[in-house]
Amino acid sequence: MKGCLRKMEVFLTEPVSYQMPLGEARIALNPLIGKKIQLHFTGQIFCIHCNRKINKSFNQGYCYPCFTSLAQCDMCIMKPETCHFDQGTCREPDWAKQFCFQPHYVYLANSSAIKVGITRENQIPTRWIDQGAVQALPILKVKSRYISGLVEVAIAQHVSDKTSWQRMLKSQAETVDLAARRDQLLTECEQEIAEIGQRFGDDSIEFLPDAEVVDIFYPILTYPAKVKSFNFDKNPDVSGVLEGIKGQYLLLDTGVINIRKFGGYEVELSVPD
């Protein structure tokens, strides 16, 4: 089976169901756990937006022109608090109106440890699974991506906004009381959140005291004792027994590989008898 990689598609089942897009095909990965698989990078890369053939990808799959022109590749996507739409300098105002000016959720997740994050409504629970979270809890619903970024920055003064991917892959995170941590953080950030609400209006931030924790289970036989990361740019061949999948990582007995990192790479997948 050969085609261009995209990030794995996920479904909140118990455990999570994974499919690997290879071109137009969708390969169910859960049935391959416990089996030896081989991935071979053909040397060809295609931009995941415009499909042009490229020698190097940027931002997990884009050609350089797309990377420098698309709003979805701008720094404000990674750091929403730097939004510059109101300055008239947005790369794609029409795209931003659809993507950024819609409800976003601020959430707590337990991946390598408790972290704060943001996501669009239609990315729940995909965002949490992609981060390898074993628990997640939406705590606020806000009117725009910019507002979610400002709230995230305020909360991130008290809890991390990043995931340690090595730690996340080495073991199952211990269960924590996310509801209790939510209440503590909202108390600690009460003034900052209130000021953001005053700035954008009373209806700009909605608290979610009745939201329930989502528990997430991954298809893993064995966690790696040591995380060795494969890189198609250095070695086109990756093989080993698929021992699990977590986040966007395949866990092989020989190492791990971040599938999302290699979006647009043309890869051959085979399962030896």
pLDDT of amino acid 134: 97
Residue 79 included in any domain = no
Whether 28 and 51 map to the same domain: the answer is: yes
Residue 169 included in any domain = yes
Whether 153 and 141 map to the same domain: the answer is: yes
Whether 39 and 128 map to the same domain: the answer is: no
pLDDT of amino acid 86: 94
Residue 231 included in any domain = yes
Residue 175 pLDDT level (bands cut at 50, 70, 90): very high
Statement: residue 211 has pLDDT above 90: yes
Distance CA 226, CA 169 (A): 9
Whether 18 and 122 map to the same domain: the answer is: no
Statement: residue 226 has pLDDT above 90: no
Name the residue range of residue 56's domain: 2-66+219-270
pLDDT of amino acid 248: 98
Number of domains present in the structure of the chain: 2
pLDDT of amino acid 207: 98
pLDDT of amino acid 101: 96
Digit-coded pLDDT (tens) for 177-204? 999 999 999 999 999 999 999 999 989 9
Beta strands in 87-236 (DSSP E): 104-110, 114-120, 135-142, 205-207, 214-215
pLDDT of amino acid 66: 98
Whether 166 and 253 map to the same domain: the answer is: no
Read off the pLDDT of each residue in 13-42 and give the average, rounded to a whole number: 97
Give 137's strand partners. 108
Read off the pLDDT of each residue in 208-228 and give the average, rounded to a whole number: 96
The closest of 156, 155, 160 to 186, measured between CA atoms, is 155
pLDDT of amino acid 122: 94
Residue 173 pLDDT level (bands cut at 50, 70, 90): confident
Q: Which amino acid is at 122?
A: N
Residue 84 included in any domain = no
Whether 142 and 234 map to the same domain: the answer is: no
Read off the pLDDT of each residue in 248-256 and give the average, rounded to a whole number: 98
Whether 157 and 107 map to the same domain: the answer is: yes
Average pLDDT, the chain: 97
**Residue that finishes a domain, picked among 215, 234, 252:** 215
pLDDT of amino acid 273: 78
